[in-house]
Amino acid sequence: MIQSVSPVKKLKGSITPPPDKSISQRAAIFALLHDGISEIKNYSPAQDPQSTLACVEDLGAVVTINEDKVTVKGKGRDGLAEPKDALDCGNSGTAMRLLSGVLTGSGVSAKMIGDASLCSRTMTRIIKPLEQMGAHILARNGGYAPLYVNRLDPLKPMDYELPIASAQLKSCILLAGLFGEEPTRVIETVPSRDHTERLLGLEVVEEVGKKIISASLKDEIPNQSYTIPGDFSAAAFWLVAGCIVPDSEIRLEGTGLNPTRNALLHLLHEMGADITIENERMEGAEPVGDIIVKSSELRAINIPQQMIPNCIDELPILAVAMTFASGISVISGAEELRHKETDRIMAIAEMLGATGVNFTEKEDGLEIQGNPEFSFGSATFKSFDDHRIAMASAILALKGSSESQILDADCAAVSYPGFWKDLTSLASC
């Protein structure tokens, strides 16, 4: 689908961001491992969480969907079924990486497949440590899906220091560790999103400069009955749009505020954004609140490298904010972006290049020459079939002087099926 986006004079109104993708996927997987019935409210209708739910069913859970409430009758750790067909993870790296951990731990053999984007993303980062834990994994070209995951040898719990700040890798190892008599301990030196340890209630020990998270058979898997918060990574598009479009005021109800996810809030504040938070509360194990953003004059920023994992999914839209901030902004230490749904450094460069913004692409990031007065006529943006690139391009397109086109825009549904409708609603208030 080609989506046309016209410039807007203002954005006004209140929206509830879609249910969090990362938390929905974890809720489904943890509910499978729980020996009982979980009622997950506000489960995400987006493609990635729906792929995960289908895999969880293939592994034996009984899933019933009633509007936005998903009921999962779990199998417990010892009751998982061998899937009849391949587990289809669609576009979701989270599904493939977390479920590989579950397969390794449980000893259930399965083939895992995904779409062209997922099959082009490296799985070496999970294959090596899972093999250390006793798995035998056959991967295309040594490191890519389809994967065949087997475990014939006994599970070997281990101490594992994360070589990259990745919540998917951390969660994969902890999920395998949940099946071990002895604890598996994951050592994290750069914080990444902590939904897994929160929602499973795992033991976390904080030491100077590191966090040690343990998982074993002794950990009870909690019932996953809670309401999924709004997705901060989806709200991020409106946070930036609200700042850069004049005369705007947007309220984002019930948005997740997990501190390991919301670095964008701190960065935008530092850039001069007018953002306030109301009604801070807890939704299960996760903090949420209502965020209000108003048009703001932004200044350039250099993102501290430690913060990159805490805004990794927001970097495409942050690059759009940087385009309208006075001065040179720098994203560095972000080579992980090259391993996302597409090579996002290349994709951001193409997006900015389509409008004539001044920038330099680096191996591990970008330098962007921002200007609050920056303007362009119209542009044709390629999404590279990456949801976050399609949506970031749409927000950038709001600042053109005539209608722009976003190619392959339907991929927004991977995380945010209502994105185009919400855009129309905010633009027409």
- Report phi then psi at 87, rounded to 5: -80, 120
Binding to ligand S3P (CB under 6 A) within 268-327 occurs at 312-313
Residue 175 vs 271, nearer CB to ligand S3P? 175
Question: What is the rounded distance in angstroms from the CA atom of residue 146 to the CA atom of residue 119?
Answer: 7
Q: State the Cα–Cα distance between residues 375 and 17, nearest whole angstrom.
A: 28
Instruction: Select the span of 37-45, 62-70, 163-171, 217-225 touching ligand S3P (CB under 6 A).
Output: 163-171
313 is a catalytic site residue:
yes
- Given the DSSP bridges, would you call strands 69-73 and 62-66 parallel, antiparallel or unpaired? antiparallel
What letters, b where the CB count within 10 A reaches 16 and e where it falls short, cover 188-212? Answer: bebbbbbbbbbbbebeeeeeeeebb
- Closer by beta carbon to ligand S3P, 11 or else 169: 169
Which of the residues 313, 385, 386, 422 is marked catalytic?
313
Q: Is 194 near ligand S3P (CB under 6 A)? A: no
Residue 166 interacting with ligand S3P (CB under 6 A): yes
State the minimum distance, in angstroms, from the CB of residue 48 to ligand S3P. 8
51 binds ligand S3P (CB under 6 A): no
Of 254, 260, 246, residue with least CA distance to 291? 254
Closest distance between ligand S3P and the C-beta of residue 171, in Å? 6
x-marked contacts with ligand S3P along 86-115 as a string, rule CB under 6 A: --------x---------------------
Rule CB under 6 A: is residue 167 a binding residue for ligand S3P? yes
Residue nearer to ligand S3P on the CB measure, 160 or 324: 160
DSSP E strands in 167-225: the ranges are 184-188, 203-207, 210-215
Number of residues engaging ligand S3P in binding (CB under 6 A): 12
- The yes or no reply on residue 20 touching ligand S3P (CB under 6 A) is no
When binding is defined by CB under 6 A, the residue of 34, 121, 193, 387 that contacts ligand S3P is 193
At closest approach, how far in Å is the CB of 336 from ligand S3P?
5
CB 174, min distance to ligand S3P, A:
11
Stretch that binds ligand S3P, among 146-154, 162-170, 207-215, 291-299 (CB under 6 A): 162-170
Counting every residue written for the chain, the total comes to 429
The SS3 call for residue 154 is coil
**Is 192 an interacting residue with respect to ligand S3P (CB under 6 A)?**
yes
Of 8, 17, 19, 22, the one binding ligand S3P by CB under 6 A: 22
Alpha-carbon distance 149 to 139, whole Å? 9
* Contact status, residue 59 vs residue 75, Cβ threshold 8 Å: yes
What is each CA distance from 375 to 317, 359, 391, 393, 411, in whole angstroms? 17, 15, 19, 14, 27
Determine how many CB atoms are found less than 10 A away from the CB of residue 386: 24
Provide, rounded to whole angstroms, the least separation between the CB of residue 412 and ligand S3P.
14
> What b-and-e string marks burial along 279-304, b requiring 16 or more CB atoms within 10 Å of the CB?
eeeebbbbbbbbbbbebbebebbebe
Alpha helices (H) along 35-92? 47-58
CB atoms within 10 A of CB 401: 10
Applying CB under 6 A, which of residues 38, 91, 168, 225 lies at the interface with ligand S3P? 168
Using CB under 6 A, which of the segments 52-60, 115-123, 161-169, 181-189 binds ligand S3P? 161-169
| List of residues contacting ligand S3P (CB under 6 A) | 22, 94, 166-169, 171, 192-193, 312-313, 336
Catalytic residues: 313
